[in-house]
Structures are given as C-alpha cells and as structure tokens.
C-alpha cells in the first residue's frame, strides 16, 4: 500500500512538472517567432450614413481590406483576432478609438483576407456631436491569442479620411 | 485498506501529541508552507499592481480563444487602456470578474477614460451587463489587462467552487499529511 501511494505520488507530480516545463518552453520559444504579415490595403470605400442619433454623431462606413495574415501564425497561436479601428480626436475627447469590424481567425488557411466594400459591424459613434469635418484614421490590429503564454497585438495604420462637414441625409 | 490508512494516521497523531517538541516542529512546518504561499501571492499583487493578479475564466464569452477553466495573468500598470486590449473588470457592487475586450475608448483631456467592452463571442456589447444607467466603464472598474494565459489549470478552482466539500476534504488531508510526515 505504501508503494502504491508513493508511486501514484511520483507519477502525478512528475507529470505535472513535465507539463509545466513544456508550457514554459512553448511560451518562451514564441518570442523568437517574427511573423510579419503584409497589409496591402485598408481604405475607406464609402460613407454609408452619417447623422446624429440620440444626440450623438454616428457614421457607418464601407471599407476595403486586403491583408495576408498568414505569417502571424505560429505553433503557439490559438486564434488571431483581427479588428479594424477608427481613431479620431475631438475637442471634448482628445483620443477616441472605436472598433468598426472584427473577425476571429482560427486557422492559418483562413488568414488571407481580401474584402471589398465591407460594411462595418459597429458604428463610428462619438460621445457628443463633434464628428462633422473631423479627420479619422483607420488602423488594422491583429491580436495573437496563444495556447500558452503571452498575448500580444500588432497594428498598422493605413488610411486617413475626412468626414463630411454636414450630415448626409440620404 | 482505507481503515488501515485512517488507523495509521490516528496512531501517528496520537504519538505526535505526546511529543510536544515534534508537534511544534510539524506545526511550524505547516505554517511555513501556508505563509510562503501567501507571501508569493501578495508579492504578485504588488508587482502587477492588481488586486487579483491571476483570474480564472468563468464564461464562454471569449471563446474559442479563452475557455472556461483557463487562467489569465493580469497586469494593472498605469499604461493607458487602449482599444483591443483584453481586460478583466468588475461592475460596481458585483463580485464576478468578467474577461472581455475593449471595444471603444474615449479619453478626456485630463487622461481619464470611458470605455465600452464586448466579449469576442458575444453578438452585442456589454452595456446590458453594466449597472442600470451605466453607459461606460471607468479605469477603476478595470482590474487589469490579460497578459498571459495557461490552459485548463483553472478547472481546479471551478471544481472547488462548485463542490465546496472537496475544498475541506483536500485541505484536511494535506494538513494531516504535513503534520504527520516525519523526515527520517
């Protein structure tokens, strides 16, 4: 009986130690992976709507996106979370960042994105009504979500456009 | 077999009680282990500036990246919160920490921020989860940014919480073994 428990003890704790070592190795070797995706285009295609709704400015845009994110995948990536953000500055808020569109990519094969005239999922909404005539920059971010270890995000800023001086009432 | 085991332990405890010196040694041993664990936890809290440097993912709203039972290492340094970061926050007066992504950031001239969050796997943003009339989260609501992950280890915490009896049994057995193990 003594030897049974001792053996179980040994197997269990050795197993856990091995697992922890493997996790540590996986996490540290990921640092050496330099994945440089190529983002060809991220640009405004059309401003679909731009008006004030419930006392705040709200714009919905269509954009084009061509990006090859396959190099970002490595042995330790569970998924890449890609998202497009709009960044702008207003007198009330010097910095505003809003996500317009996102996508989960789980496999390397799905990581080549070639989209035209994509409708943004979430509106470009200001906290007040200071969007008219404002400069907006579009950024593409990709977040590496690991199997084990560090989460890290890279981003690239691509296009800047100006919102119309008046609401579009079409 | 179990009976012998229990009897063996009871015998050991009896012997221990008679030998006060040995008893104090074993109790101090146990205290050392508990206090070391506590020290490590507290130092992690200081290092990461977070009241909760390690959290267990409880819901499926960030799947498939983070599943129920994964643990996340948090960091609450003063770098400003920016869009796209995976953060853990608590809504005022509620106990459950929620792990979601920052969807919108609005930063005022004085550096204070108002943010909106959303789970990757949810269809809508978190406004429905916030307190009544609350539109935005403030910096104080955020416990930290997720910086690293370790899979499955958190299942232990989830089991311990769902079946509290396991907690008492485990702690009891561990305490017993530490008290009665002799360095031969």
**Burial bucket for residue A129 (CB in 10 Å: 0-12, 13-18, 19+):** middle
Q: What are the structure tokens assigned to B115, written together?
A: 């943010």
Of the given ranges (A82-96, B84-98, B143-157, B165-179), which has the lowest mean pLDDT?
A: B165-179
Residue found by looking up tokens 């561990």 in the block: B174
- Residue A170: per-residue pLDDT: 56
Asked if B173 is an interface residue toward chain A (Cβ–Cβ < 8 A), one would say no
Q: Which residue among A94, A102, A125 sits closest to B107, beta carbon to beta carbon?
A: A94
Q: Which residue among B86, B109, B149 sits closest to A149, beta carbon to beta carbon?
A: B149
Asked if B64 is an interface residue toward chain A (Cβ–Cβ < 8 A), one would say yes
- Residue B86: per-residue pLDDT: 92
Q: pLDDT category, B168, cuts 50, 70, 90? A: confident
B72 versus B15: the higher-pLDDT residue is: B72
Q: How far is CA A59 from CA A100, A102, A167, in A?
A: 10, 17, 9
- Residue B182: per-residue pLDDT: 61
- Residue B184: per-residue pLDDT: 44
How many C-beta atoms lie closer than 10 Å to residue B7's C-beta?
10
Please indicate whether residue B70 is annotated as part of the active site.
Answer: no
Please indicate whether residue B24 is annotated as part of the active site.
Answer: no
- Residue B23: per-residue pLDDT: 79
A169 versus A40: the higher-pLDDT residue is: A40
Q: pLDDT category, A89, cuts 50, 70, 90? A: very high
B29 versus B3: the higher-pLDDT residue is: B29
Asked if B79 is an interface residue toward chain A (Cβ–Cβ < 8 A), one would say no
Active-site residue (options: B36, B70, B78, B126):
B126
Q: pLDDT category, A17, cuts 50, 70, 90? A: very high
- Name the residue of chain A whose CA is nearest to B118's CA: A99
Q: pLDDT for B127-143, tens place per residue?
A: 888 888 888 999 989 98
Query: A79–B66: do the CB atoms touch at under 8 Å?
Result: no
Q: pLDDT for B4-57, tens place per residue?
A: 777 777 777 777 777 788 878 888 888 888 899 899 989 988 888 888 888 888
- B95/B58 Cα distance (integer angstroms): 12
Indicate left, alpha or beta for B87 from its phi (over 0: left) and psi (-120 to 50: alpha).
Answer: beta
DSSP string, A64-111: EEEEE-GGG--TTEEEEEEEEEEEE--SS-SEEEEEEEEEEE-SGGGG
How many C-beta atoms lie closer than 10 Å to residue B109's C-beta?
10
- Residue B181: per-residue pLDDT: 66
- Name the residue of chain A whose CA is nearest to B125's CA: A122
Q: pLDDT category, B183, cuts 50, 70, 90? A: low
Q: Which residue among B5, B149, B151 sits closest to A151, beta carbon to beta carbon?
A: B149
Active-site residue (options: B50, B61, B70, B141):
B61
- Residue B117: per-residue pLDDT: 93
- Name the residue of chain B whose CA is nearest to A91's CA: B109
Q: Cβ distance B122 to B84 under 8 Å?
A: no
Residue B80 DSSP code: P
Please indicate whether residue B126 is annotated as part of the active site.
Answer: yes
pLDDT at residue A44 greater than cutoff 70: yes
Mutation to test the A interface, candidates B2, B9, B63, B65, most A Cβ within 10 Å: B65
Supply the mean pLDDT for chain A. Answer: 87
- Residue B5: per-residue pLDDT: 73
Residue found by looking up tokens 């193990």 in the block: B181
For helices B20-48 and B2-18, angle between their N-to-C axes, nearest 10 degrees: 100
Q: What are the structure tokens assigned to A103, written together?
A: 């996508």
pLDDT at residue A9 greater than cutoff 70: yes
- Residue A85: per-residue pLDDT: 93
For B62-98, b/e burial (b = at least 16 CB within 10 A) is: beebbbbbbbbbbebeeeebbbbbbbbbbbeeeeebb
ipTM of the prediction: 0.84
> What mean pLDDT do residues B160-178 have?
81
How many C-beta atoms lie closer than 10 Å to residue B100's C-beta?
24
- The model carries a pTM of 0.81
pLDDT at residue A55 greater than cutoff 90: no
- B77/B53 Cα distance (integer angstroms): 11
Q: How far is CA A84 from CA A35, A99, B160, in A?
A: 19, 6, 40
- Residue B125: per-residue pLDDT: 87
Q: Cβ distance B72 to B148 under 8 Å?
A: yes
* CB-based contacts of B134, cutoff 8 Å, min separation 6: B91, B92, B127
Query: B109–A94: do the CB atoms touch at under 8 Å?
Result: yes
Q: Measure in Å the smallest separation between the Cα of A70 and chain B Cα atoms.
A: 18
- Give which of B124, B118, B103 is closest to B62, Cα–Cα: B118
Q: Which run of H or of E encompasses B163?
A: none
Asked if B103 is an interface residue toward chain A (Cβ–Cβ < 8 A), one would say yes
Q: Which residue among B1, B103, B148 sits closest to A99, beta carbon to beta carbon?
A: B103
Which residues of chain A make contact with B85, given a CB cutoff of 8 A?
153
Q: Cβ distance A150 to A24 under 8 Å?
A: no
pLDDT at residue A154 greater than cutoff 80: yes
Q: pLDDT for B96-137, tens place per residue?
A: 889 999 999 999 999 899 999 999 888 888 888 888 888 899
- A54/A57 Cα distance (integer angstroms): 8
């Amino acid at each position: 009986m003594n030897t049974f428990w001792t053996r179980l003890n040994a197997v269990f704790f050795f197993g856990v130690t091995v697992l922890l070592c493997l996790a540590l190795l996986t996490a540290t070797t990921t640092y050496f992976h330099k994945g440089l995706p190529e983002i060809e285009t991220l640009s405004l295609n059309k401003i679909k709507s731009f008006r004030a709704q419930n006392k705040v400015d709200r714009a919905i845009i269509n954009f084009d996106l061509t990006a090859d994110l396959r190099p970002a995948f490595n042995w330790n990536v569970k998924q890449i979370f890609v998202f497009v953000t709009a960044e702008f500055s207003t007198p009330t808020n010097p910095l505003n960042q809003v996500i317009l569109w996102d996508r989960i990519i789980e496999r390397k094969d799905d990581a080549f994105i070639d989209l035209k005239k994509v409708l943004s999922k979430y509106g470009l909404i200001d906290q007040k009504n200071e969007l008219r005539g404002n400069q907006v920059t579009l950024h593409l971010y990709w977040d590496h979500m690991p199997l084990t270890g560090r989460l890290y995000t890279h981003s690239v800023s691509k296009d800047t456009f100006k919102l119309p001086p008046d609401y579009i009432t079409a | 077999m179990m009976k012998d085991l229990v009897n063996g332990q009871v015998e050991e405890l009896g012997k221990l009680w008679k030998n006060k010196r040995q008893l104090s040694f074993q109790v101090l041993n146990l205290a050392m282990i508990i206090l070391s664990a506590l020290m490590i936890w507290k130092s992690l809290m200081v290092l990461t500036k977070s009241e909760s440097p390690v959290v267990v993912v409880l819901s499926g709203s960030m799947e498939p990246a983070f599943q129920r039972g994964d643990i996340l290492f948090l960091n609450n340094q003063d770098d400003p919160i920016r869009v796209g970061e995976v953060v853990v926050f608590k809504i005022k007066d509620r106990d459950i920490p929620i792990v979601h992504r920052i969807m919108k950031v609005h930063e005022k001239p004085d550096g204070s921020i108002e943010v909106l969050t959303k789970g990757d796997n949810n269809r809508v943003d978190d406004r429905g989860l916030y307190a009544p009339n609350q539109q935005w989260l403030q910096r104080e609501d955020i416990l930290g940014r997720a910086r690293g992950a370790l899979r499955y280890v958190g299942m232990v915490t989830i089991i311990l919480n769902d079946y509290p009896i396991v907690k008492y049994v485990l702690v009891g057995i561990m305490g017993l073994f530490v008290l009665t193990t002799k360095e031969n």
